[in-house]
Structure 1
Amino acid sequence: MITALRSLAFLIVFYGGSLLFVLSAMAAHWVAPGAVQPIATGWGRFHRRCARWLLGQKVRVEGELPHGQYLYIIKHESMFETIDLLCLFHRPAIAAKRELLDIPLWGGLARDYGLLPVERSAGASALRALLAAARKANTQGRPICLFPEGTRVPHGEAPPLRAGFAGLYALLRLPVVPIAVDSGRVSPRGHFLKRAGTITYKVGEIVPPGLDRKDAEARVHAAINALNRLPDRP
C-alpha cells in the first residue's frame, strides 16, 4: 500500500511539475532558444528530487566518473536514467529515437536542446546523421551519451549491442566510459509501482579508441551489465 501511494504521489507531482517545465521551455524556444538547456537541467534535478523524496530512491555512483572528451555508454533499464543523465553530466548530448524529435512542439524543444537523432531503419544515412550531430556536440564540449541496447531492457537481461555503438566508436575515435545501472530493480519498465531502494551507477574501465570492433563491444557489454546479478539493496 505504501509503495502504491508513493508511486501515485510521484505520478501526480512529477508529471504535473513537468508540464510547467515544458511550458517554460516552449516560451524559451520562441524568445531565447539557448535557455532550453538550463531548463532541461532543472527538470532533471526536479526528477531526482521527486524520486528521492516521494519514492525513496537514492542514487549512488561506484567508481570515478571522468568528465571530458568521452563517449559514455549507459545500460538502459528504465525511464529513470533517461532523465537522470541531466544530473550526472553537464548538458549531455543524448542519443534518442528520431520519432521523439518529430513530435509536435516537444520535438522542437528536443532539437533546441540538442538531442542526437537515431533512426534505426535508415541504415548508413542514419549513422551519418548521428555522427554529424555527435561531432557537433563534441566540438561544443558536451558529453555524448548513448544507450547501446536501443531500448529499455528488464533488469538481468543482457541483449547484444546495436550497431550504432560500433559506428560511433570507430568514427568518433573517443575513449569510451561504460556505465552499468540497475534502475530496473526498483523502477521496472511498464510498471506503475516504483519501489524504494538505491539505484547504482557503476563506472567501468575506460575503453581506449582504436580497438577491434569485437574487442571493444565485448568490453563495453561486460561493463554495462556488471550490476545484473547483484542482490537488492536496502
Structure 2
Amino acid sequence: MDINYWNKICKNYQSEVLSVFDNDLHGLVKQRVGKIAQEEEIERAADIGCGVGRFTPLLAEQFEEVEACDLSSVGLKNAKRRCSQQDNINFYQVDLVSEAIPFAPVDFAFCVNVLIMPSLDQRLRAWRSVTNQVNRGGTLLLVVPSLESVQMEFYSNVERRLSDGEGCGEAVRNSIDEKARASDLRLGVHQLDGVRTKHYLKDEIAQMLEEHEFEIQEISKLMYSEDEHTHFSQWDWLATATRK
C-alpha cells in the first residue's frame, strides 16, 4: 500500500477524513464495543488500522490489553500521543497487504474503514490478514463504505436536479462522476473525496465474512448526519461476526 498517501491523510486527518468516531450519528460503534466488552469474556483486543487512534482509547478502557497497528508512521505517532495516559496498548507499524501482523490473534478485532483498497488483489490479502487475526470463537467488528449509499446518493442527486428544472439526460450526466472507470464501478470502486475507494454491498459483506469462516451476528447501517447542501444522509455498513 502507499505509505506516503496514508501519512499525508493522517497528517491532515481532520480535513481529509470523515471521522467515524466524530460523525457516527447514533453512536452505534461505541454501543457495539461496549456491548461486546460487557457480554463476552475478552482480555485482548486489536485495533487493526488504528490510524490516528480515535477509537483506540475506547478499546483500552474496555479491554485489559490492546494491540494497535497501522501502516502510517504519522498515524501511529498521533495515536501514541492520544493514548499517552493509557499503559495497556502496544503499537505496531505493519502493511496488512504484504507483512504478517506481528502479534498473536485476539478474541476481539476492531477494523474501521480499512478494507477499502481499490486493488482486488491487495484487498483480498488484507481481508485474510484481518480475519486470520481473530481467534476461533472470537468477534470481529467491521466498518466499510456502503455501495447502496453511493447509489442512493446518485438517485437523490438526479431527483434534486430534476426538481431544479434540469432535463432527464442533463440531470443524469451532471450526477455521474466523470473520473469513474467502468471496471471500477463493476467492482464497487467509487471516488471518495477524490480517492478510488472500495464500497460494499450488504450481501457482499455477508458473503465475504462467510467465505472467511465467520458467522454473522449483525450487519447494520451506520448513519451519518444529513448533508446541508444535498440533504442526503450517507451511511457505512457495520458488521459484527464470530469466527467459527
Same-fold call, TM > 0.5? no
TM-score by length of 1: 0.34
Larger radius of gyration: 2
In proportion to residue count, which structure has more helix? 1
In proportion to residue count, which structure has more strand? 2
TM-score by length of 2: 0.33
